[in-house]
């Protein structure tokens, strides 16, 4: 089995074992691509959401938040283009009877070509040692250039075919590339067809008066239909943004890869309303701003890259993904889309209401253009969780499993451990818990030897362990152990809160953006 798959399996089993993510309705054998967040997962998710919200809403005085309903008037989805164009190209394998997204099959093929580039880089880095210049190598090595040209050519052709709705050419491309069903190895494919991803439901009790509704496939439309309400009541001046986080639903054809692609998921989206003609400038600015947000978490610069879209969604004039290196390779984590005035103009047309902004500087009204940043909360969770999980060899020859979640996002900030369950140590530990719990999540743990408790907290992702021992009773000092370095410091009981606060405070982390 490929090593990548092993790593990913470990991520999934660790997420379950340490109370982060469970399969939905597991006692009934689960529901495909639907997951529940457990006691630690819900805290990590909440912290990621808060980290995003503070960066977008709290720290930008021209961005405000809303929380729109999941149910929206059905015309919303006609106007937005989702009824007609929110489709994925699907293809079935006639032998295995398995259904795939045609574009994903092609992208997976391209990912294999890109993996060859990575291999060349690793080989060259070994050969040249310290003098290795990765950038220069990527730009000059002929084999790498050939692989890159091949990958780019495939994506370009796929993008064009999808844009032109030329599904026959998408099938032809799959056949030319010799792509086989990953399950059966068969190359016996059906034609490519379009499949709408929205879930339908009904509003109302009686069969004849019930209204057909959709579960929203993106949160963005709740922002567009509220644009004028927010602009007027908030007296917002362009440029300004509206942000929200919330559930979205898509009937994904290929729902695999754990919480990477789910049927019910959460988005964190921001629409930035701008003057027409300034979209290129804001597009570049928001690309840079969002990348900085990601980098502020210290998960490694090399784990991110931009991918500019060849195939643009029906509403965009430019779009890029911030891709992250997941255990199964670089994949989309966040999208930055220049959505033009498409959505507001469509809603004007379908609702018959003006959705315009009077610009006092220009002395005229116009439909603003929109720059969107859109990130999946669950995908961000997976990025943080998978990147944090490490197996480390220790100096004494043993290994430890440690979840190095950035301290600001960790579900529990500290565990307080009495060295023994007697001599008044549990009482002192409990008193410390009672003081710390007003500021952050802390837990008490007295079971097993202290070394085993450290390991347990390492694996759960707790950045600090505070140990109360007999010396504490004499001089009011405790030991603080740091998860990532395993270093231990002797500090005063009265200093514990400040030491931990400094490292988990959002302000300290967000100052880097």
* Binding positions for ligand GAP, 235-254, rule CB under 6 A: 250, 252
Q: Which stretch binds ligand GAP (CB under 6 A): 59-67, 87-95, 299-307, 374-382?
A: 374-382
Task: Determine the number of helices (DSSP H) and then strands (DSSP E) in the chain.
Answer: 18, 23
The distance of closest approach from Cβ of residue 157 to ligand GAP in the complex, given in angstroms and rounded to an integer, is: 21
Give yes or no for residue 265 binding ligand GAP (CB under 6 A). Answer: yes
CB atoms within 10 A of CB 342: 20
Closest residue to ligand GAP, based on beta-carbon distance: 376
Q: Is 281 annotated as a binding residue?
A: no
Q: Is 375 annotated as a binding residue?
A: yes
Nearer to ligand GAP by C-beta: 376 or 461? 376
CB atoms within 10 A of CB 327: 21
For the chain, what percentages of helix, strand and coil (3-state, to nearest 5) are there?
A: 45, 25, 30
Handedness of CA 378, 382, 385, 387 (dihedral sign): negative
CB atoms within 10 A of CB 69: 8
CB 398 within 8 A of CB 428: no
Binder to ligand GAP among 335, 368, 406, 461 (CB under 6 A)?
335
Give yes or no for residue 88 binding ligand GAP (CB under 6 A). Answer: no
Nearer to ligand GAP by C-beta: 372 or 469? 372
Q: Is 108 annotated as a binding residue?
A: no
The distance of closest approach from Cβ of residue 342 to ligand GAP in the complex, given in angstroms and rounded to an integer, is: 12
The distance of closest approach from Cβ of residue 381 to ligand GAP in the complex, given in angstroms and rounded to an integer, is: 10
Q: Is 267 annotated as a binding residue?
A: yes
Q: Which regions of 395-495 does DSSP assign to beta strands (E)?
A: 399-403, 414-418, 442-444, 464-468, 477-482, 488-492
The distance of closest approach from Cβ of residue 511 to ligand GAP in the complex, given in angstroms and rounded to an integer, is: 25
The distance of closest approach from Cβ of residue 251 to ligand GAP in the complex, given in angstroms and rounded to an integer, is: 9
Nearer to ligand GAP by C-beta: 76 or 457? 76
Tell me the site size for ligand GAP, rule CB under 6 A.
Answer: 19
* Binding positions for ligand GAP, 269-298, rule CB under 6 A: 269
CB 464 within 8 A of CB 414: yes
Handedness of CA 419, 423, 428, 429 (dihedral sign): positive
CB atoms within 10 A of CB 441: 16
Binder to ligand GAP among 332, 341, 445, 458 (CB under 6 A)?
332
Backbone angle region of 178, left / alpha / beta, with phi > 0 → left and psi within -120 to 50 → alpha: left
Give yes or no for residue 334 binding ligand GAP (CB under 6 A). Answer: yes
Tokens of 463: 């950045």
Distance CA 11, CA 389 (A): 7
| Rounded CA Rg of the chain | 26
Give yes or no for residue 267 binding ligand GAP (CB under 6 A). Answer: yes
The distance of closest approach from Cβ of residue 322 to ligand GAP in the complex, given in angstroms and rounded to an integer, is: 8
Backbone angle region of 288, left / alpha / beta, with phi > 0 → left and psi within -120 to 50 → alpha: alpha
Nearer to ligand GAP by C-beta: 222 or 411? 222
* Binding positions for ligand GAP, 207-226, rule CB under 6 A: 218, 220
Nearer to ligand GAP by C-beta: 341 or 458? 341
Tokens of 270: 């921001």
Strands 442-444, 414-418: pairing is parallel
The distance of closest approach from Cβ of residue 197 to ligand GAP in the complex, given in angstroms and rounded to an integer, is: 9
Binder to ligand GAP among 379, 404, 413, 481 (CB under 6 A)?
379
Q: Which stretch binds ligand GAP (CB under 6 A): 159-167, 328-336, 446-454, 461-469?
A: 328-336
Distance CA 248, CA 271 (A): 16
**Lookup result for tokens 């379908």:** 350
Residues that bind ligand GAP (CB under 6 A): 218, 220, 250, 252, 261-262, 265, 267, 269, 332-335, 372, 374-376, 378-379
């Amino acid at each position: 089995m490929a090593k990548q798959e092993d790593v990913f399996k470990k991520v999934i089993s660790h997420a379950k074992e340490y109370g982060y993510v469970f399969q939905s309705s597991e006692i009934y054998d689960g529901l495909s691509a639907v997951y529940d967040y457990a006691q630690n997962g819900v805290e990590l998710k909440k912290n990621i959401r808060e980290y995003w919200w503070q960066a977008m809403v709290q720290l930008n005085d021209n961005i405000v938040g809303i929380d729109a309903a999941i149910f929206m008037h059905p015309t919303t989805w006609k106007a937005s283009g989702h009824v007609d164009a929110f489709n994925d190209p699907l293809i079935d394998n006639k032998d295995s009877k398995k259904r795939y997204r045609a574009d994903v099959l092609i992208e997976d093929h391209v990912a294999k070509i890109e993996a060859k580039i990575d291999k060349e880089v690793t080989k060259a880095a070994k050969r040249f040692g310290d003098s290795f210049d990765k950038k220069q190598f990527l730009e000059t090595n002929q084999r790498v250039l050939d692989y890159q040209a091949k990958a780019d050519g495939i994506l370009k052709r796929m993008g064009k075919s999808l844009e032109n709705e030329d599904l026959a050419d998408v099938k032809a491309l799959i056949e030319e590339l010799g792509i086989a069903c990953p399950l059966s190895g068969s190359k016996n494919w059906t034609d490519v067809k379009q499949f709408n991803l929205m879930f339908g439901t009904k509003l109302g009790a009686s069969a004849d008066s019930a209204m057909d509704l959709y579960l929203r496939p993106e949160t963005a439309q709740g922002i567009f239909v509220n644009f004028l309400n927010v602009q007027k009541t908030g007296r917002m001046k362009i440029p300004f943004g509206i942000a929200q986080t919330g559930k979205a639903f898509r009937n994904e054809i290929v729902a695999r890869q754990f919480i990477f692609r789910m049927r019910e998921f959460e988005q964190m989206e921001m629409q930035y309303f701008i003057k027409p003609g300034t979209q290129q400038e804001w597009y570049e600015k928001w690309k840079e701003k969002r990348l900085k947000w990601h980098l502020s978490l210290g998960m490694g610069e090399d784990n991110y890259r931009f991918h500019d879209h060849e195939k643009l969604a029906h509403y965009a004039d430019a779009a890029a993904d911030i891709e992250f290196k997941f255990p199964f390779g670089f994949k989309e984590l966040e999208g930055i889309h220049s959505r033009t005035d498409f959505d507001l103009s469509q809603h004007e047309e379908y609702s018959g209401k003006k959705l315009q902004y009077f610009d006092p500087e220009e002395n005229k009204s116009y439909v603003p253009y929109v720059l969107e940043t859109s990130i999946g909360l669950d995908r961000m969770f997976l990025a943080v969780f998978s990147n944090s999980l490490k197996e480390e060899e220790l100096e004494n020859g043993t290994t430890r499993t440690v979840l190095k979640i950035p301290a600001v996002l960790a579900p529990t900030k500290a565990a307080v451990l009495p060295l023994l369950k007697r001599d008044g140590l549990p009482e002192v530990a409990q008193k410390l818990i009672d003081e710390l719990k007003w500021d952050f999540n802390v837990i008490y743990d007295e079971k097993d030897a202290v070394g085993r408790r450290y390991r347990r907290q390492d694996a759960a992702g707790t950045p600090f362990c505070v140990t109360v021992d007999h010396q504490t009773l004499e001089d009011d000092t405790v030991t603080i152990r740091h998860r990532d370095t395993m270093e231990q410091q002797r500090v005063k009981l009265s200093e514990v809160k400040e030491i931990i606060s400094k490292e988990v405070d959002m302000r300290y982390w967000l100052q880097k953006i």
